[in-house]
Amino acid sequence: MELDLRLVRYFVAVAEELHFGRAAAQLYVSQPALSKQIRRLEEQLGEALLVRDSRHVTLTARGQQFLADSRRLLALSESMTRRAPQRGVSIAHVFELSTSRMVADAFARTEPDIPLREHSMDSITQLNALQQGRLDVAILRVTPRMLLAHPSGWRHRLLRLEPLVLVGAPGDPDEAAAPHASFDARPLHVFADPPDSGTYSAHGQYVTALEARLGLAMRWLGTPGAFSFCVAHVQRGPRDVRYLEFLSYAEKYAEVGMQTSWPLEVQPYYPWSLAWRADDVNPSTTTLIEVALALAEHSWLATDLEPARAPAWMPDDDPAWREHASGRA
C-alpha cells in the first residue's frame, strides 16, 4: 500500500483539533470532503483511527500511534523537500491588531536592508505554518492545546498582555460619561467565531472562558476581518449594546467618535506570545526576536494600567499566567 501524504496531513489536522469543522477550515476543504478522505485512509489501513459521534471526536489506540508516526513522517517529508531558506524573515499578523504591526515596523527601522515578508493568519494557522517552515516568527496566543499537540520543536516567550475594553455604539449620549462600565449593564457583543462555526480559534476559546468567568453569554458576531468591516457593523448596529474589543481596535473606534470604557468586574488581558522554531539559526530571525522582546520591556507586560482598576484576568489554564508570574517574560 502506498501511503498518501495528503491524507496523512488531513488526519493530523483532525487528530489535533478533534473537530472536523475546525480541521476543515484549517485545511481549506469542506467538512464532508474531509470526512470522506479520513474514511478513505481508514479503509486503506484496515483499521479505525477515530471514534465519532454527534458531538465528539476521539482517537482510537491505533489512531494515537498513527498520529505519532504521522508527525514524524510529515516532519521528515518537509525536511527533505524544504527549499533553501529565502533571504530575510517572515512574520504574520492577526488582522489589523497592533502588536505584530509594531514589531514589524520596529524591525524594519532597525534592519532596513533585510527583507520582511508579511502574512495574515490566525493563531492556530500561524503555529502550523511555523512548524511547517512557512513562517519564521509567529505572534499568537499560546494555548494549552497547542502545547499538548506540539510539545517540542518550537519556543515561545510572552510578548504583550493587551487589555480588552468595552466600546459603546455611536450616537449614545449616555456613553460620554462612562470611563468605566459593567460587563452586564448592556447586551455585550463580540467579533469572534463561535464553537460550532468550524473556525473556532484561540481567540474564541478565550472568549468562552471569559463568558464562564462572568456568568453571561455574549452575542458572537463572527470574525469579519479588517477593522473597516468591524466599524461598519457597529455603525449600522443597535444603539443599546456594547462591544468587547482589543485595545488596538478600541483606539481606532475612539478616533471615529465612539466611547470606550474600562471594565469594572475584571480586566481581561489577551496574551500575545512570540514563537519561533527551536532549530532556526537564521540571524534575521534572531534579530527580529530581539527587536520584539525589546518592545515588550516598555510596559507591554504590565497589568496595573491606568485608568484600568479591576483585577487582571486571563483563563485559569492559560500558559501566560505561569510565565508572567515567574518573571520569565
Band (pLDDT 50/70/90 cuts) for residue 145 is confident
Mean pLDDT (whole number) for 171-182: 69
Look up cell 455611536; give the residue.
Answer: 170
Q: Which residue has the higher pLDDT, 299 or 155?
A: 155
| Average confidence (pLDDT) over 217-232 | 90
Chain segment 26-53, per-residue pLDDT in tens: 787 888 889 999 999 998 888 999 998 7
* Site of grid cell 537564521: 282
Alpha carbons 18 and 24: distance in angstroms, whole number: 11
Specify the pLDDT at position 111. Answer: 94
Instruction: Look at residue 326 and tell me whether its pLDDT is greater than 80.
Output: no
For the chain, the average pLDDT equals: 88
Winning range, highest mean pLDDT, from 124-128, 130-134, 208-212: 208-212
Give residue 213's pLDDT band: very low, low, confident or very high (50, 70, 90). very high
Tens digit of each residue's pLDDT (9 = 90 or more) over 60-80: 999 889 998 888 888 787 767
Whether residue 328 is predicted with pLDDT greater than 70 in this model: the reply is no
Q: What is the pLDDT of residue 198?
A: 77
Percent of the chain clearing pLDDT 70 (strictly above): 93
pLDDT above 90 coverage of the chain, percent: 47
pLDDT digits (tens, 9 = 90+) for 272-307: 999 999 999 899 999 999 999 999 887 798 887 777
Say yes or no to pLDDT of 243 above 70: yes
3-state per-residue secondary structure call for the chain: CCCCHHHHHHHHHHHHHCCHHHHHHHHCCCHHHHHHHHHHHHHHHCCCCEEECCCCEEECHHHHHHHHHHHHHHHHHHHHHCCCCCCCEEEEECCCCHHHHHHHHHHHHHCCCCCEEEEECCHHHHHHHHHCCCCCEEEECCCHHHHHHCCCCEEEEEEEEEEEEEEECCCCHHHCCCCEECCCCCCEEECCCCCCCCCCCHHHHHHHHHHHHHCCCCEECCCCCCHHHHHHHHHHCCCCCEEEEEHHHHHHHHHCCCCEEEECCCEEEEEEEEEEECCCCCHHHHHHHHHHHHHHCCCCCCCCCCCCCCCEECCCCCHHHHHHHHCCC
pLDDT of residue 86: 62
**Could you tell me if residue 152 is left (phi over 0), alpha (psi between -120 and 50 degrees) or otherwise beta?**
beta
Per the CB < 8 A criterion, the answer to whether 161 and 270 are in contact is yes
What confidence tier does 148 reach under pLDDT thresholds 50, 70, 90?
confident
pLDDT at residue 176, rounded to an integer:
55
Q: Is the pLDDT of residue 105 over 80?
A: yes
Per-residue pLDDT, averaged over 239-266, amounts to: 91
Angle at 181 between CA 179 and CA 184, to 5 degrees: 170
